[in-house]
């Protein structure tokens, strides 16, 4: 009898270890790279450096970006887009052409971060125009979009509806009310939460608990924090095993990107 129990436990242990080994940590939006082979990131390409390379006649090759190490290549997927912060001082049509070229060459798996930001100085009408143009590129090429949104959730949501946008949408670094979170969830969008969930005073610790697991992502954005720490914190908040959280977010990732990303 004891032997049988031991065997069952041993089998369970083995299964459990295999299970853990198979679930990556998905970092849905980051500006830095992880050398942890268990991490799969959507690395946001610095658009300014891209346009400089283009104008200096160097062929665009994001994979030779200085921060990317060969050992990490297999876990890197990239996003690029014209950020609303930078639109006032650039040639928009040239940058849209660069974006289209990246999409054509399959160098990116998502368009972003793109969106609207009422806290920056960029002309808002221009922000809307550039945002719409990039949503058009994403739609035409069936790519997901990663949204940067500051104090403009209603406007972003209205534009997505107006354009009848159908590719997957992720609001990265979600920072609005529970009511807004529910509106966006009802429209089928994904919400991604960042390091703020580790701040005991952040209302996002409560909001994340109300998000359906099949519309949830985690991200480090531009912060110096390990994505694994965010999984740990989120699994405590959501009262679930970290391995389960890894599994559901990986499912979301697969649903969203299908065969586009590794």
| Nearest by Cα to 213 from 183, 231, 191 | 191
- State how far the Cα of 150 lies from the Cα of 120, in Å rounded to an integer: 9
How near is the Cβ of 222 to Zn ion at its closest, in Å? Answer: 6
Asked if 221 interacts with Zn ion (CB under 5 A), we say yes
Q: Is 54 exposed, middle or buried (0-12, 13-18, 19+ CB in 10 A)?
A: middle
- At closest approach, how far in Å is the CB of 246 from Zn ion? 22
Give the span between the Cα atoms of 151 and 156, in whole angstroms: 10
Contact yes or no for 134/116 (Cβ under 8 A): no
| Segment interacting with Zn ion (CB under 5 A) among 8-16, 120-128, 156-164, 219-227 | 219-227
3-state helix, strand, coil in the chain (%, to 5): 50, 15, 30
Residue pointed to by tokens 């083995």: 14
Site for Zn ion in 44-103 (CB under 5 A): none
Q: Which is nearer to Zn ion, 149 or 160 (CB)?
A: 149
Helices (H), 56-195: 92-104, 124-140, 153-162, 178-186
94-113 positions binding Zn ion, by CB under 5 A:
none
Candidates 35-43, 159-167, 175-183, 214-222 — which segment interacts with Zn ion by CB under 5 A?
214-222
Identify which of residues 23 and 83 has a Cβ nearer to Zn ion in the complex.
83
Stretch that binds Zn ion, among 129-137, 218-226, 228-236, 249-257 (CB under 5 A): 218-226
Cβ-closest residue to Zn ion?
Answer: 221
End-to-end CA separation in angstroms for the chain: 45
Asked if 117 interacts with Zn ion (CB under 5 A), we say no
For Zn ion, the closer CB: 221 or 233: 221
Select the span of 178-186, 195-203, 217-225, 253-261 touching Zn ion (CB under 5 A): 217-225
Site size with Zn ion, rule: CB under 5 A: 1
Nearer to Zn ion, 196 or 221 (CB): 221
A 10 A CB-CB count for 217 gives 24
> Hey, what are 191's tokens?
């919400």
Which is closer to Zn ion, CB of 23 or CB of 41? 41
For residues 60 and 34, what is the distance between their CA atoms, to the nearest angstrom?
A: 22
**Least distance (Å) from Zn ion to the CB of residue 84?**
12
- Min dist CB 35 to Zn ion, Å, is 20
Question: Residue 42: which H helix or E strand, with range?
Answer: strand 39-44
Q: C-beta of 123: minimal distance to Zn ion in Å?
A: 21
Nearest distance, CB of residue 85 and Zn ion, angstroms: 10
- C-beta atoms surrounding 72 within 10 Å: 17
Q: Classify 95 as helix, strand or coil.
A: helix
The least CB distance from residue 136 to Zn ion, in Å, is 22
Q: Which residues form the interface with Zn ion (CB under 5 A)?
A: 221
């Amino acid at each position: 009898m004891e032997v049988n129990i031991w065997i069952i436990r041993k089998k369970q242990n083995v299964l459990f270890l295999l299970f853990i080994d198979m679930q990556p940590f998905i970092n849905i939006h980051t500006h830095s790279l992880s050398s942890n082979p268990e991490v799969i990131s959507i690395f946001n390409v610095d658009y300014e450096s891209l346009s400089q390379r283009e104008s200096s006649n160097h062929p665009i090759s994001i994979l030779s970006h200085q921060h990317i190490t060969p050992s990490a290549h297999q876990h890197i997927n990239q996003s690029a887009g014209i950020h609303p912060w930078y639109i006032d001082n650039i040639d928009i049509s040239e940058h849209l052409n660069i974006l289209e070229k990246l999409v054509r060459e399959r160098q990116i798996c998502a368009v972003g971060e793109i969106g609207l930001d009422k806290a920056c100085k960029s002309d808002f009408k221009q922000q809307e125009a550039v945002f719409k143009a990039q949503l058009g590129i994403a739609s035409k090429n069936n790519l997901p979009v990663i949204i940067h949104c500051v104090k403009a959730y209603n406007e972003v949501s209205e534009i997505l509806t107006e354009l009848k946008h159908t590719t997957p949408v992720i609001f990265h670094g979600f920072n609005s009310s529970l009511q807004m979170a529910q509106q966006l969830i009802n429209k089928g969008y994904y919400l991604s939460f960042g390091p703020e969930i580790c701040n005991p005073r952040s209302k996002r610790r409560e909001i994340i608990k109300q998000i359906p697991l099949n519309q949830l992502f985690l991200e480090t954005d531009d912060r110096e924090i390990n994505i694994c720490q965010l999984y740990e914190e989120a699994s405590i908040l959501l009262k679930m095993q970290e391995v389960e959280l890894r599994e559901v977010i990986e499912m979301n990732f697969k649903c969203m990107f299908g065969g586009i990303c590794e």
